[in-house]
A and B are shown apart, each in its own frame.
Chain A
């Protein structure tokens, strides 16, 4: 009975899809001969495809419903268990470290360059993770802070000849200042409202950079930004790429270290509490304004530093690198990877940046896959790839 019911439902779905796609998949007007071609085989394909997909869809949904209860008891996913097992964690870390160190020497410069951009996005993702994953503030204009970092290095270098290593903290601090500037007026906002305001903020920064020619050289951008120096030595293109790779790796490790510490600290707990319930956390003595500002400022700091590294890597920046699309990608890495989870965000960033690079042949379908993946994720794994686990504390009884 249920089987025939399922089939019936799927048939209805497939008929519906055949009807919907009829005008674009079946009819084709040949403008030269002025005739209409009827491609009935396409209709059959759509029908069969929709039939099986809808079967699969409902099967997965059902499995999720049944599995939901079971999984909660079983608790952690495979990755989390691996991370917690000491005997796997240490060798695993060593292997990852070894691969990272050898990476630029094994693979070509092209690969290294791609890896650098991916790692920059890892830093961005981790930074945004402070704001979204820990403090629960949905920020949609994160690329603006990235831009502040990149432009502060480019402009400081252009006008005052400031070097990379000095610009790195300055970029971070300037971005933090912008974070506070944005944070202050939006303290009262939550959720969608906050997202809209921050989206506006991101666009403002981009438009200013695009139109204020005297300041930022407009859409033509800034050229010839120096790569980081190695104790005053000039490096070859190859060597400097490897050098930047290591700089980014160190930045990533530093970011992980800091966020890990923050997450399980008094401040980190206050962020999570604010995310869960603002009124209750105020009643617990948490200063809402101060705590939120700290999240904004810290999140922006990492974007700023990533921006400085980005400017040094590409040696050329213009406003086109800091559009809404960048903000959305960073947001996706956090959501896809798992809000609040460090391992998840790293995995998400690597996946989202590397996969499109290696699948350039399917470039046209990038957006559609992106959307589909996000929808499927939200339904089947709303917590992200690697869900965040709360720390458990040890105590003497």
Chain B
């Protein structure tokens, strides 16, 4: 089967700095893939390149949600979202002045189409659409376990709930691939465990594939089927959690070179 996301030889330069160097990556339908690496390795830049916030200097990003290849390079972020890639952010970016429900309703923006005239006249089509948005948003919140906060302002939510709300909001765009940028950052072990279950649930019930950046190794190892490791913008390893755990290159990147030998000599 064709992978639903395929990144080929992607490179991203910022002036003289090569943030991403020739990375290949592919995700199959229904897979949970993790992208790990030390701080500053270029993981978030990689996300930004795929989702259209940056245009990669060279290389290709292809998606094929329905068996047909589409090239994503250079498309605007909102178009990329419309094509079915939804993401969350490392530093939470909720719409703080809106309620929890409205945050999710914004996620429905891409799949609805009422315009100015529709809004002013509020005809049957617009009314039906509004109703659908509210209903859909609420059911997503129920699924994510945020239904009790529905009318709270997003900014007043506890931290863990804010992270989950980001996921809920991303799900509202009807994605086939969910990109999670450090979803467990700042969570306590209890919350991380719940997140683990949530991600699995999303994959199993919605059929959404997941690409996640994460530093919490326990979460990464238990969730992912394939792991990519990047360091200084280069891919240094890929494989199953078991292979990655024992890969000397990965250990070196995370823990540094063994220096005992020098003392021996």
A residues whose Cβ falls under 8 Å from a Cβ of B: 258, 261-262, 265-270, 272-273, 275-277, 279-288, 294, 298, 390, 392-397
Contact = CB atoms under 8 A, between A and B. Distances in A.
Contacts of A276: 94-98
B198 interface: no
A313 B245 CA distance: 79
A262 B118 CA distance: 9
Nearest to A285: B110
B122 interface: yes
19 contacts: A258-B120, A261-B122, A266-B118, A266-B130, A268-B119, A269-B98, A269-B102, A272-B97, A273-B106, A276-B96, A277-B94, A279-B93, A284-B106, A285-B111, A286-B78, A286-B110, A390-B99, A390-B102, A396-B135
A392 B153 CA distance: 11
B11 interface: no
Nearest to B174: A285
A333 B63 CA distance: 50
A262 B95 contact: no
A394 B134 CA distance: 8
Contacts of A298: 116
B232 interface: no
A39 to B, nearest CB: 52
Nearest to A339: B97
Interface stretch (B33-41, B80-88, B203-211): B80-88
B133 to A, nearest CB: 8
A270 B120 contact: no
Given A276-B95, A284-B107, A261 B119 contact: yes
B158 interface: no
Given A284-B169, A395-B138, A269 B109 contact: yes
Contact of A262 (B53, B116, B129, B130): B116
Tell me the interface secondary structure of chain B in the complex: helix
A395 B81 contact: no
Given A272-B97, A277-B93, A393 B77 contact: no
B55 to A, nearest CB: 14
A262 B115 CA distance: 10
B173 interface: yes
B105 to A, nearest CB: 6
Contact of A267 (B119, B133, B135, B172): B119
A276 to B, nearest CB: 4
Nearest to A390: B99
B53 A279 contact: yes
B101 interface: yes
A187 to B, nearest CB: 12
Given A273-B95, A395-B135, A281 B106 contact: yes
B201 interface: no
B13 interface: no
A280 B101 contact: no
B243 interface: no
A283 B175 CA distance: 12
B153 A390 contact: yes
A91 B162 CA distance: 41
Contacts of B170: 283
Contact of B82 (A267, A285, A294): A285
B106 A270 contact: yes
Given A267-B115, A269-B98, A276-B95, A285 B109 contact: yes
B87 A283 contact: yes
B51 to A, nearest CB: 6
Contacts of A395: 134-135, 138
Most buried by A among B87, B120, B122: B120
B69 to A, nearest CB: 22
7 cross-chain pairs, A with B, having the tightest CB-CB distances, nearest first: A285-B110, A265-B119, A280-B93, A285-B81, A276-B95, A282-B77, A266-B114
Interface in B57-88: 76-78, 81-82, 86-87
B78 A285 contact: yes
A280 B119 contact: no
B182 to A, nearest CB: 15
Most buried by A among B82, B106, B111, B119: B106
B89 interface: yes
B68 to A, nearest CB: 21
A244 B56 CA distance: 59
B112 interface: yes
A273 B93 contact: no
Contacts of B109: 266, 269-270, 273, 284-286
A393 B133 CA distance: 11
Most buried by B among A258, A269, A392, A394: A269
Contact of A284 (B101, B118, B153, B173): B173
